[in-house]
Chains A and B, each alone.
Chain A
Amino acid sequence: MDKVTNIVAAGLGGQGVLKVTDILADVLFRAGYDVKKSEVHGMSQRGGSVSSEVRFGTKVNSPMIPVGEGDILVVLDETQLDVARPVLKNDGIVITPADVPTDKLSSPKALNVMLLGALSAKLDFLGEELFLAALERAFPEKLHAANKEMFLLGRQC
């Protein structure tokens, strides 16, 4: 597989955007891919727009996705769709909170995990077990059961 696959997560500071790409990058690394993940820290932590990019394949060079070459965009806040969309290619896939059963969220904070579930369904060659194991590594034990439930709800969409 020579082609590099490009995934973007976008949202607002505090929504757990970086957690989504952290877990995704962990999964891809353990699945044996070359992975790079990029975002800008700092001012973005103060409630502003946050976006984070993951690229994977057999060999990845630039950590940043060229405009118009993103394969999948996950937005955690609908307002960020217009901000982040230019990075996506014309026939790229968009995943938004409207695509998942947000009425079943255990807490508003778990939206990122539910959307990660929806994203995982688009990357089905990776397998559910890898994601569930990475989720457990990323969160304290008391959240494991709820996270698994939210992830699977998202994954069924």
Chain B
Amino acid sequence: MLKKILIANRGEIAIRVASACRQMGITAVGVYSEPDRTAKHIQYMDEAYLLGPASPLESYLNIDKIIEIAKNADCDAIHPGYGFLAENSDFAERCEREGLIFIGPRAETIRLLGSKIESRKLVKNAGAPIIPGMELSSNNFEEYRKAAEEIGYPVLIKASAGGGGKGMRIVEREEDLADALESASREAKSAFGDGTVYIEKLLKKPRHVEIQILADSTGRTVYLFERECSIQRRHQKIVEETPSTALYPELRRKMGEAAVKIAKAAGYLNAGTVEFLLDEDKSFYFLEVNTRIQVEHPITEMVTGIDLVAHQIKIASGEEIPFEQKDLHQRGSAIECRIYAEDPENNFFPSSGKILLCSEPTGPGIRCDSGIYSGYEVTVHYDPILSKLIAYGENRRQALERMSLALKDYVVLGIKNNIRFLYDVINHPEFHEGNTDTGFIPRNFPEYQIPQNDNDKLKYALAAAVYHSEKKSPAVGVYGKSEAPTPWETLGAFRLF
């Protein structure tokens, strides 16, 4: 078993990984950028080392520095979390070369699956379904034109190196194809440094359904069922749930087996996610493989009872997966809401500033993986995810009721956030019916406004505001500080050492 792991990340995921390490008796080593000295993740580490200035390139993406710290601190492995270096094959390769275990797939697997065009080829050869489309990119417009004609309009242009919606264009008619190809390629080039684009069939109302897999070094590969992640804004997931309301046992098994087939074809090791689009007619198509632990992994943990991060560590230690496919079951229902520092009234623009007060919900079936606290300063340097709220219930209805209450009880004051928006999303009738597809947010919340406050509550709010402001000074501790002094402060001179 690994003894000491450097966690090359920040925020809630660094805390999640640290807690798995510490539970297993493994020393958790944290890293931080200058403004993150007081970030929450550092409080959960056994050791912590400074990476450098705020800029990700000088801190959480600084491969040389991370490797140097890991070696100096005598770490035997590095967990990359998600984002930052998690899907960087050069980093995985560098770890291997330096004698450090990268907790994730092998470098060549990351490289292979990182290319959309290469992975489409692999999936097709493995006999799993891909969206009808081009297998090769081309410099010849005529080939794109022919491909689009064969597939049938509307078509979707996508970037080979793509992600996050960059380099994507929907084309309805042939006469728009040339311009769309050109601008998509330009956008892909500036976003990913690679202007390669290809064409595939556009699904009208697809759902985003992904399959969690685990694979060990002996080749044993299992699937841990699906996560439905159709609720997205700007191509970013914000609400995820499992089981999906669109799957039935036979389809679930088919998708799970397809995911395992793809993983085996890629020589996959450790935890990963095979993403599919599910069409209205229940055909499913391969989208991509995420070669990392995902943001939404907790909902799978809730319904399977399997600690995915602990198994990542065990697999990286060389252990075999101790269960087989037939041992795995889904029990109950789980939903996750991503709490972001962003303004839902202003195109989800990221916000920053000081969290004046934070109070997180608890209760039956509630899990809150959080990277914030009262007084924490949200900076502009990193992803605006603040925390993840997860609700588990014996069925979907109870999970939703619990989530609804937990969102009401979630207090984050001082910065713009999406908590109220998430509440309105999960309480939308279409969501209740399980009628979710990737067009849900643009269709139902085109110009979102936070609902007006109930005037009945205003008197309570006003009383609280005035009392808080005026009574703040007198009714506190001896020195008028917000905390009462401890005996240590009042005892006077004292020798500790």
Do A and B belong to a common assembly? no
